[in-house]
Amino acid sequence: MKNFRFTPLFLALIATPGFSATEELIVTGSYNPVTNEQLSSSVSVINQQELLQLSNNSVIDALRQIPSLWVEEQGGPGGITSIALRGAEANHTLVLLDGVQLNDPTNTRGGAFDLNSINIESIERIEIIRGAQSAVYGSDALAGVIHIITKTPGKATTTLNASVGSDDYASTGLSTSGKLNNLGYAFSLQTKDAGEPVPGSTAKNTEFSSRLNWQQENHTLNFNYRYFDGERTSFPEQSGGPEFALSRDLDESNYKDQSAAFSWIAQANNVWQSKVSASWYQRDEDLTSPGILPFDAVPPNGSVIDFNRTAFSWINTLGNQQKFWANIGVETKKEDGSSEGYLFSPDVYPINFALNRQIDSAFINLNGYVTDALLIQASVRRDDADGFEANDSGQVGARLEVNNNWTLFANWGEGFKLPSFFAIGHPLVGNDQLVPETVRTKDIGVEFQQDDYSARASYFTHAYRNLIDFDAVEFKNVNRARVETSGLETEVNWQIQQNLSWRLHGTYTDIDMQSSDNHLLGRPQATYGTSIHYAVNDNWKFNLNYLRVDKRFAVTRYSGADDEQILGAYNRFDANAQWQINKLTQVGLSLENLTDENYHTDIGFPAAGTSAKLNLKLSF
């Protein structure tokens, strides 16, 4: 590993163990729900209580505290915010919401998902599976999967929430859940105005989500639907931001997301369960950009995007999940996207494209306890996409319980990603000869659990091939980049007292751009942090979070040419408090960037200074 330094990160990695390894039911990374002790991959599960401890109002701020997960943010809430796992590109992470894939291959980011499209109040839990998962999910899951699960039907409750804060921040929401005989329901409506914490960066959105389930004897029906629309403004990416941009004109975007999913689960007998699923995702976006002065860099441009994805699957689970079980099934997926765009150069130049493709898949997954302590898992999947050779993906993993305290796990996997519609079809830079990007990942780790201490640490390597890159000489996208990443990730938890807990996390990632002097942008080599959660009593709770981020490479074009610079390392403190006034009423206060740290998320894009938000929740 190159340039390893004896820093506080190293101290974090050898600290007293304590990762939470309590048994939880996980729906991600497998074809049927399993406990976290039945997965050989590196897993993190963040429930709603833990999310709100890390941030009362921002899923982005909460996810910064998760090992190997880097939230890449440009400026304030109006900038594009996406997730990178283990140093990979943001579009190498598959993002799901209630089982529906949200990656959009028509966007300029190759399918990376914008996290600003998620409101934290709508979330019940987030599951993160690291490492290549194409043997389970097919294309796009090169670096891992992030599954956002909205509030599920439960006991009868209704909650009203409202927040106000610095820089004209405001949000309101209503959620309700309950049961009518065998029918469970959960509905949520949220609105949010992020204000303008950074000059030029604004975002407003409205979200409605719903979930229904019905269960009787051996049959279960599930349905969910989500509607989200928003608008945002920001200085163009790599324009120099509010500090250096030569033009004060802003990017403007209006967008709408809709998704729905239905599943029918039938328990035929004690050893056979059949699940039929259908899902739909649609995204519409209208984007206009003033470009970057001088216009030799990026001229004014715009686009209207329309993307649809439908998927159908049939999965059969056979066997005894306490000894040996298998998942066998098929899936078909259809993607249809179009972009009607323009470029001023200096005349109006149309940049339209429209593409569609179908992906047919078949898969088998085997799981078995060789002994009571040793679990072996293997998956193989074939994906046959229009216009490409069929791709075979494999995955093998093992989990060994050494004793009551120590567990070892190891995993090897293959991943692939079909070229995005933008990379193939864009009239100026598109290349219809591109081949899929691929990766092989390995990780090995250890878990420790004893009384009030728990920990998880793992070492990983990812070898990427045929990454899509822009060739300035040919002026089009090409396959050429080879990148290898390796590193360490750890998380530690210690329940010091019944009312006091402490958490520590650290990640070190070494990125090697083989045969190239270029740098991958925006990704720190090291991040680490700690959190303290203290409950004075049943009514008062306090949370303090610290994050350290290493320096990162960044590029700007406001000078008329590519200018690579290094963004400095920074420290950030956030805090929040909750006061349960009575059974119905809760008041919360969030303080972000407590020390008013002066750092940048991109060249010329300063982070927001110290801010405060006041939250009110009424439950019935």
- Output the DSSP codes for 457-509: EEEEEEEEEEEEEEETTTTEEEEEEEEEEEEEEEEEEEEEETTEEEEEEEEEE
Residues in Cβ contact with 345 at an 8 Å cutoff, skipping those fewer than 6 apart: 295, 299
At 211, phi and psi to the nearest 5? -140, 135
Average pLDDT over residues 262-290: 96
Average pLDDT over residues 185-210: 96
DSSP 8-state secondary structure symbol assigned to residue 153 = P
* Mean pLDDT score across all residues of the chain: 91
* Helix-, strand-, coil-residue percentages of the chain, each rounded to 5: 5, 60, 30
Q: How confident is the model at residue 5 (pLDDT cuts 50, 70, 90)?
A: very low
pLDDT, residue 116, reads 82
Whether the per-residue pLDDT at 92 is higher than 80: the answer is yes
DSSP 8-state secondary structure symbol assigned to residue 533 = E
Q: How confident is the model at residue 515 (pLDDT cuts 50, 70, 90)?
A: low
What are the tokens at 165? Answer: 């804060």
Whether the per-residue pLDDT at 22 is higher than 80: the answer is no
The domains of the chain, with CATH numbers, are 8-246+255-619 (2.40.170.20)
Average pLDDT over residues 387-411: 96
Q: How confident is the model at residue 213 (pLDDT cuts 50, 70, 90)?
A: very high
pLDDT tens across 415-456, in order? 999 999 999 999 988 999 999 999 999 999 999 999 999 999
Based on DSSP, count helices (H) and strands (E) in the chain, helices before strands. Answer: 6, 36
Whether the per-residue pLDDT at 562 is higher than 80: the answer is yes
pLDDT, residue 542, reads 96
- On whether the CB atoms of residues 379 and 394 are closer than 8 A, the answer is yes
Give the separation between CA 418 and CA 438, rounded to whole angstroms: 9
Residues in Cβ contact with 613 at an 8 Å cutoff, skipping those fewer than 6 apart: 56, 57, 163, 164, 165, 166, 169, 589, 590, 592
Higher pLDDT, 12 or 176: 176
Residue in the block written with tokens 């490409």:
388
What one-letter code names the amino acid at 21? A
Residue in the block written with tokens 């833990």:
50
Residues in Cβ contact with 113 at an 8 Å cutoff, skipping those fewer than 6 apart: 82, 83, 90, 93, 95, 102, 103, 104
Give the separation between CA 236 and CA 247, rounded to whole angstroms: 10
- On whether the CB atoms of residues 496 and 531 are closer than 8 A, the answer is no
* pTM as predicted: 0.93
pLDDT, residue 9, reads 37
Whether the per-residue pLDDT at 212 is higher than 80: the answer is yes
Give the separation between CA 281 and CA 264, rounded to whole angstroms: 19
pLDDT, residue 25, reads 81
Give the separation between CA 102 and CA 141, rounded to whole angstroms: 12
pLDDT, residue 309, reads 98
Give the separation between CA 380 and CA 366, rounded to whole angstroms: 9
DSSP 8-state secondary structure symbol assigned to residue 198 = B
Give the separation between CA 97 and CA 115, rounded to whole angstroms: 11
What are the tokens at 438? Answer: 């691929």
Whether the per-residue pLDDT at 145 is higher than 80: the answer is yes
SS3 2: coil
Q: How far is CA 43 from CA 149, 341, 547, in A?
A: 15, 40, 21
pLDDT, residue 1, reads 39
What one-letter code names the amino acid at 571? N
Biggest alpha carbon distance in the chain?
A: 71
The 3-state secondary structure of 296-361 reads CCECCEEEEEEEEEEEEEEEEEEEECCCEEEEEEEEEEEEEEEEEEEEECCCEEECCEEEEEEEEE
pLDDT, residue 481, reads 80
Report the half-sphere exposure of 230 (CA within 13 A, side-chain side): 27
- On whether the CB atoms of residues 553 and 547 are closer than 8 A, the answer is no
Q: How confident is the model at residue 18 (pLDDT cuts 50, 70, 90)?
A: very low
Which of 305-314, 389-398, 462-471 has the lowest average pLDDT? 462-471
Whether the per-residue pLDDT at 261 is higher than 60: the answer is yes
pLDDT tens across 321-340, in order? 889 999 999 999 999 999 99
- Output the DSSP codes for 255-311: EEEEEEEEEEEEEEETTEEEEEEEEEEEEEEEEEE--BSSTTTB--EEEEEEEEEEE
Whether the per-residue pLDDT at 241 is higher than 80: the answer is yes
Whether the per-residue pLDDT at 3 is higher than 50: the answer is no
pLDDT, residue 571, reads 96
Q: How confident is the model at residue 516 (pLDDT cuts 50, 70, 90)?
A: low
pLDDT, residue 23, reads 58
pLDDT, residue 501, reads 95
Higher pLDDT, 584 or 521: 584
Higher pLDDT, 181 or 361: 361
Whether the per-residue pLDDT at 55 is higher than 70: the answer is yes
Average pLDDT over residues 237-243: 93
Whether the per-residue pLDDT at 177 is higher than 60: the answer is yes
Q: How confident is the model at residue 524 (pLDDT cuts 50, 70, 90)?
A: very high
